[in-house]
Amino acid sequence: MWGRKVGIGIALGMCLLHAASLPQQLVWRDGSRVSVLRMPVDSGESLIMLHLTQQLEYSLSLSGVLFINWEHDSNGNQVMMVQDLIYQCRAESGKTFRFSQKMAHHLGVQYFFDSIVRVHVDDNQFETRMEWKIWKNHGGFFSALLSTRIFNCYQTMVNDSGNLVRTLSSSFLTPFTGLFSGGIQLKWPLLGSLNIGLTSAKLTWVRDRGIYETLQVTTYYGVPLEKRYLFEYGLSIQLLINHDLLKWLHWDCDLIIFKNTNLPPDISVKNNLGFRLTKFLKARIQTRLYYEERVSKKVQLENLVSVGFVVQF
C-alpha cells in the first residue's frame, strides 16, 4: 500500500518538474531566430521573437587608359583601382519594428603615368535607422547618417613656372557631416521607401582649422572661420530604392534632400546599377550628383563604370 503511494508521488513530482521547466526554454533556430519565455500553457507562439540578418559585400575593380600618339591630353595615361566595402546588419521583431545599421566604404586611387597619384573616390558613411509600422505600409522612422573622407584630397594645378602644385582641399573629418531626421515613412513592398523628415538637423564640423589659411577662405562648407561647426534645422526627404529589376540586374538609389529656412536645398543622389555577370564577377554603373550652394553653385556630377571581382557573405 505504502509502496504504491510512494510510486504515485514520484510520478507526480516528475510531471511537475517537467511542466516547471517549460517557461525557461531557450531555442535557437537556424542560427538567427531566438524564442524565449514560453508560457506554461504553450500556445506555440513566443513572447519575444528577434530575427537577425547580416550581409557583407566586397568588390575590387581595376581599369586603365593608355594613349599612343595622342595629340590631346598627353598626360592622360592612367591606371585606376576602386574598392567597395558594404556591411549591413538588421534586427527585426515581427513586422512591426526594425533596427538596422549600414557601413559603406568606397575608395578609388588614380595613378597618372609620369605624373601624380591621387585618391579620386573617398566616400565613407555610417547609417543607423529605426523603423516601426503603424498601419499597412505607413510608419515612423528615425535615422542618423554620418559621413566623412579618410585620406587627404588635393587640388592640383600648374603654377607660373610650369610645375605641379598641390593644395589641400579636404581631409579626415574636414568636413564631417551628420544628418539626423525623424518623421513619416511610406513603404513600397519589394521596391523601397520614402522617408519624410518632419524634424531634421544637419551638423557640419571642421577638424583641421588650418584649411582656412590653406585655401585662403573665411567660410568652409558653410562653417565660418570663428566657429568649429554649423548646426542647422529644417526638413528632409530621403528616397531609398533597393530592388532587383532582373535576376542579374540590381538597382540601388539613395536620394537625400535637406532644406533649412534660409538657403536653397542641399541635394545628394547616389544611383547604382549592378550587373551580375558571374558568381564572382560584377559590372557596375555608379552615378553621383551633388549640389550645395555654399560649396558650389554648380551641380556636380560623377559617373563611374567598373567591372571587377565581388565576394558576398
Q: What is the pLDDT of residue 69?
A: 65
Phi, psi of 39 (to 5 degrees): -70, 155
Could you give the CA distance from residue 102 to residue 90 in angstroms, rounded to a whole number? 9
The C-alpha cell at 268 is: 545628394
Q: State pTM to two decimals.
A: 0.79
pLDDT tens series, the chain, 313 aa? 444 544 545 454 554 444 444 433 333 344 444 444 444 555 555 555 778 999 999 999 988 777 666 665 555 678 889 999 999 999 998 888 999 999 999 999 988 876 788 898 899 999 999 999 998 889 999 999 999 999 999 988 777 776 778 899 999 999 999 999 999 999 998 899 999 999 999 999 999 999 999 999 999 999 999 999 999 999 999 999 999 999 999 999 999 999 998 889 999 999 999 999 998 999 989 899 999 998 888 999 988 888 899 998 8
Q: How do beta strands 33-36 and 153-158 pair?
A: unpaired
Q: What is the DSSP string of the chain?
A: -HHHHHHHHHHHHHHHHHHHHGGG-EEEETTTEEEE---SS--S--SEEEEEEEEEEEEEEEEEE--SS-SS-TT--EEEEEEEEEEEEEEEETTTEEEEEEEEEEEEEEEETTS-EEEEEEEEEEEEEEEEEEETTEEEEEEEEEEE-SS-EEEEEE-TTS-EEEEEEEBTTBTEEEEEEEEEEEEETTTEEEEEEEEEEEEEE-S-TTHHHHHT-SEETTEETT-SEEEEEEEEEEEEEEEEEETTEEEEEEEEEEEESSSPPEEEEEEEEEEE-SSSEEEEEEEEEEEETTTEEEEEEEEEEEEEEEEE-
Cα(241)–Cα(114) distance, rounded to whole angstroms?
42
Q: With contact defined as beta carbons under 8 Å apart, do 121 and 106 qualify?
A: yes
The type of residue at 230 is L
Q: In whole angstroms, give the CA distance from residue 236 to residue 195.
A: 8
What's the distance, CA 151 to chain centroid?
Answer: 19
CB-facing half-sphere around the CA of 69: CA atoms within 13 A: 0
Distance CA 188, CA 251 (A): 15
- Separation between Cα atoms, residue 106 and residue 210, nearest integer Å: 26
Pairing of strands 192-205, 176-188: antiparallel
